[in-house]
Chains A and B, each alone.
Chain A
Amino acid sequence: MGSANKSSASRTARIEEMRRAEQARERRNRILVVAASVVVVAGLVAGGVVLVRAQSDDGRSSSAADDAKSAGKFVTGADGVRAWKGELGREHVTKSVNYPVTPPVGGDHNPVWMNCDGDVYEDEINATNAVHSLEHGAVWVTYNGDAPKADVEALAAKVKKTPYTLMSPVDGQKDPIVLTAWGHQRTVKGAADPAVDAFLEKFVQGQQTPEPGAACTGGLAK
């Protein structure tokens, strides 16, 4: 009996010890679960913020387009490309058109497109013909008197090798070298600027093209 009592006492002590150990383990687990939950909630909140912000960005740009209607304005994207937010006319007109930006990024235009099959024009061309080329999916490379001669020559060589592009001087433009597609425009630092190839890749017959499949041949060749 005595030994039984003793062992009973030690069993009680052992059980007590086990219970303490289990409580400690549960506390530890609870802390782990709470910590994990906090991390997950924080992640969820961050994800939600990113999601909401992405959606509200879309909302903002589309409401800007609605506000602008006939006037329109440029909105510069993260890639440095200025996108025209607003309406761009698509009518064929034989009179001259007063475009809001130089060089124009779209709008009413002459019935005859400027040939844009890698065509390089030494003299200024009529903007109303060039805008028709933009409608056909061409990229228009323009430069003013400040553009270095070497850059102009290098760009001309690139244009000649690239169907659905055209190039001409535009004295009235603010920056030395400008690339234009329908509804989109950017300046580049020079012929070697990687933004040149990026712009051509995105916009030569790109998704912005109002008339996909239309020709860059058979139009005005000067």
Chain B
Amino acid sequence: MRRPALAAGAVAAVLVVGAAAGWAVTSAADGEERALPVPAADSADAGFARDMAVHHQQAVEMSYVVRDRTDDEEVRRLAYDIAQTQANQRGMLLGWLDLWELPKVSADPPMTWMGMRAMTAGEDGALMPGMATDAEMERLGRLNGRQAEVFYLQLMTAHHRGGVHMAEGCVRACEVEAGKRLAQGMVEGQESEIRLMAGMLRARGAAARP
């Protein structure tokens, strides 16, 4: 008599634990009271936030420069859009690093979190794929009108290609949902702008650099 009662008790205990686990899973699925994960300094999340903040900054700078070099409304508006968007997104990325209490720099080379340690030369200020060199930035600042527009569209197309590639790395490897979402938005937004700039280059009798 005692043993079946004990067995029944044990079964009941297991069921109580199981029910509690089921309840916990259900409430987690409801998405309430989720603890925000804090990634490690060498994670894809932190690496993306660090590197994309640097990558974006050059696009902001490039866009300010071209707005001073041409009166063309179409190019000036594209540059305004890119500068506003990427300056804001850069603020989000740096803000996450602040909240995570992680450094803004790393002793490792850029893109290490993507397994690209060997591929980044960092020559003449072009720290990451797609970035312009210091010499190219200076040249943009000397050109005027149509020449400045074409050079800007070429530099920004290359910049976006590198940016899309890096953002895809985060879409694949990042774990924080807000970071993944922003990266996915960058992929789609910049791919759309690459196509837009191809049309603008064509209209100016030019093409993107290979």
Chain A residues packing against B (C-beta within 8 Å): 23, 26, 29-30, 33-34, 36-37, 40-41, 43-44, 47-48, 50-51, 54-55, 90-92, 111-113, 207, 209-215, 217-219
Contact = CB atoms under 8 A, between A and B. Distances in A.
Contacts of B26: 47, 50-51, 54
Interface string B4-15: 110011011001
Contact of B77 (A40, A50, A111): A111
A37 B14 CA distance: 10
A213 B182 CA distance: 10
Contacts of A218: 77, 80-81, 84
Contacts of B103: none
A212 B81 contact: no
B5 A33 contact: yes
Given A37-B11, A48-B22, A54-B29, A207 B84 contact: no
Contacts of A91: 192, 195
A30 B52 CA distance: 65
Interface of B: 1-2, 4-5, 8-9, 11-12, 15-16, 18-19, 22-23, 25-26, 29-30, 74, 77-78, 80-81, 84-89, 91-92, 181-182, 185, 188-189, 192, 195-196
B86 A90 contact: no
B33 to A, nearest CB: 16
A111 B199 CA distance: 12
A213 B92 contact: yes
A209 B22 contact: no
A23 B83 CA distance: 83
Contacts of B22: 44, 47-48, 51
A130 to B, nearest CB: 16
B88 A213 contact: yes
A212 B195 contact: no
B1 A215 contact: no
A215 B12 contact: no
A40 B16 contact: yes
Contacts of B86: 213
B19 A40 contact: yes
A44 B17 CA distance: 10
13 contacts: A26-B2, A43-B19, A51-B22, A51-B29, A55-B29, A90-B192, A92-B195, A113-B81, A213-B84, A213-B89, A213-B92, A215-B80, A215-B81
A210 B185 contact: yes
A189 B57 CA distance: 45
A207 B89 CA distance: 14
B192 A92 contact: yes
Contacts of A30: 1, 4-5, 8
Contacts of A217: 84
Given A40-B15, A215-B84, A47 B5 contact: no
